[in-house]
Amino acid sequence: MLGLSYIALALALVTSSIEAKITCKCLPGSPCFPSPPVIKSFEKTLSEPLIHPRPMGSVCFPNDPTFNPTACAEVKSKWHNGAFRTSVPEAAQFINWETMINSTAVDQCDPFSDVNDPTNTCFQGRVPWGVVKVKSISDIQKTVRFASRHNLKLIVKNTGHENLGRSFGQQSIMLWTHNMQEIKFSNRFVPKGAPRGTTGVTAVTIEPGVQWGRLYKEVADRGQLIVGGIGAGGSVGAGGGWPMGGGHSVLSPFYGLGVDNILEETVVLPSGEHVTANRYTNPDLFWALRGGGGPSFGILTSVTYKTHPAPPVTAAFLVANTTTEEGRAELFKEWVKIHPTLVDSGWAGFWPYSGTQFFLTLMAMGSPPSNPKANATLQGFYDTIKNIEGVEI
């Protein structure tokens, strides 16, 4: 009996201490929300006034104040354009992240739905009420401090490829880092705080808005190579979420993950402080940032990657169409079987699968491949699968 009441008391204590720590974010419309003059005076400290976006599709709704048939036609034509979606704050790469789904309703703004139905409206969904178009590090610091002081829901969007939807949030304020576009090369980069006499290496320092498509070209123009990710049209950010999640690359088997190639990062911490992290300065933070996942530890303001001399490489592409269930199963059996051998013979790459189509994109170092087994191993795989019934290559 005594024991039981102790347990009940302990539970009550635990519960109340948890309750004390959890406070909901302050949302527009709540009494705690900063008044318009307070928001105005915050806004005046930023490089540019706040943007108050409506979802992209709003211009297609006759019952919406933003209705504009010309703009609607343009939005519809760019609806599936990933590069365009990175260039505006209100668009995610995965449309469902702009949408708020609860147990009874889907708050969305679909320009392809029946927009002339007067009961169909454009919902704000998870598109933020305010966007800070970041032009300087101090814009980030001021916003982090403002959001912290007023307990606001703060999100960060760079290109909007975030697969877990964290670059959007209902009734949030957004730090939009897309316009931070500086790229700086160095032939002798030495991390801040390195011991005297440390030898510099070739490197590139980028702001988070820089996208892989542009960075690959600039690095290649200098006859160099960088370990980076893939993304349709090169629109994935080179310095945002990709390295913070580890950074898988087709080059990883040869040069390591993206994070293994980072020499230094600068971030704004939740306190608003702007700091440098590398193996000599704030090494714990440097370790945490390289794979800690998204903006867990700070908001990235720059990343410095090693660059490498560009060796000749060999690429191999294959499209296999499968027309039968048995053919598909047989193709995958052969693919799984060859997998370890392929890696040992020097190939690395990706194999997206669409449901009926199997796409192989492989590369090997050297041209022809320097691994003596590379060619014959891949040829062996091609020869095997081309004879499978229900598979066309």
Ligand X SMILES: *[C@@H]1O[C@H](CO)[C@@H](O)[C@H](O)[C@H]1NC(C)=O
Task: Tell me the number of residues near ligand X by CB under 6 A.
Answer: 13
Pairing relationship of beta strands 183-189 and 201-206 according to DSSP bridges: antiparallel
Q: Give the one residue of 2, 7, 20, 105 binding ligand X; rule: CB under 6 A.
A: 105
- CA triple 163-166-171, angle to 5 deg: 140
Among 303, 281, 280, residue whose Cα is nearest residue 226? 303
Half-sphere exposure of 67 (CA within 13 A, CB side): 9
- Residues numbered 330 to 369 that lie near ligand X (CB under 6 A) are 368
Structure token digits, residue 31: 């009494």
Question: Who contacts 157 (Cβ-Cβ below 8 Å, separation ≥6)?
Answer: 89, 167, 168, 174, 175, 176, 177, 178
* C-beta of 121 vs 224, nearer to ligand X: 121
Minimum Å gap between C-beta 317 and ligand X is: 12
* C-beta of 148 vs 379, nearer to ligand X: 379
Question: Does 103 interact with ligand X (rule: CB under 6 A)?
Answer: yes
Question: Does 121 interact with ligand X (rule: CB under 6 A)?
Answer: no
* C-beta of 66 vs 375, nearer to ligand X: 375
Minimum Å gap between C-beta 359 and ligand X is: 10
- Residues numbered 30 to 59 that lie near ligand X (CB under 6 A) are none
Question: Does 376 interact with ligand X (rule: CB under 6 A)?
Answer: yes
User: Between 213 and 242, how does the x/- string for binding to ligand X read (CB under 6 A)?
Assistant: ------------------------------
Q: Give the one residue of 11, 379, 382, 386 binding ligand X; rule: CB under 6 A.
A: 379
Structure token digits, residue 387: 């004879």
Phi, psi for 41 (deg, rounded to 5): -75, -30
Question: Who contacts 119 (Cβ-Cβ below 8 Å, separation ≥6)?
Answer: none
* C-beta of 212 vs 358, nearer to ligand X: 358
Single out the segment in contact with ligand X by CB under 6 A; choices: 52-60, 74-82, 206-214, 375-383: 375-383
The 3-state DSSP class for residue 177 equals: coil
Question: Does 384 interact with ligand X (rule: CB under 6 A)?
Answer: no
d(CA 68, CA 79): 16
Single out the segment in contact with ligand X by CB under 6 A; choices: 227-235, 236-244, 272-280, 372-380: 372-380
Contact 72, 78 (CB under 8 A): no
Question: Does 107 interact with ligand X (rule: CB under 6 A)?
Answer: yes
DSSP secondary structure code for residue 323 in this structure? -
Among 98, 107, 129, residue whose Cα is nearest residue 33? 129
Instruction: DSSP for 138-164, please give it.
Output: HHHHHHHHHHHHTT--EEEESSS--TT
**What is the Cα 197 distance to its own chain's centre?**
36
* C-beta of 321 vs 341, nearer to ligand X: 321
Q: What is the Rg, in whole angstroms, of the alpha carbon atoms belonging to the chain?
A: 25
* C-beta of 23 vs 104, nearer to ligand X: 104
Question: Does 321 interact with ligand X (rule: CB under 6 A)?
Answer: yes
Q: Give the one residue of 5, 23, 102, 119 binding ligand X; rule: CB under 6 A.
A: 102
Q: Scanning the structure block, which residue is given the tokens 């999100």? A: 155
* C-beta of 29 vs 223, nearer to ligand X: 29
Structure token digits, residue 142: 């001021």
* C-beta of 104 vs 387, nearer to ligand X: 104
Distances in Å between the Cα of 131 and the Cα atoms of 122, 167, 285, 369 are 19, 12, 28, 49
Question: Does 375 interact with ligand X (rule: CB under 6 A)?
Answer: yes
Q: Give the one residue of 5, 104, 199, 387 binding ligand X; rule: CB under 6 A.
A: 104
Minimum Å gap between C-beta 314 and ligand X is: 8
Footprint of ligand X (CB under 6 A): 102-105, 107, 319, 321, 368, 375-376, 379, 392-393
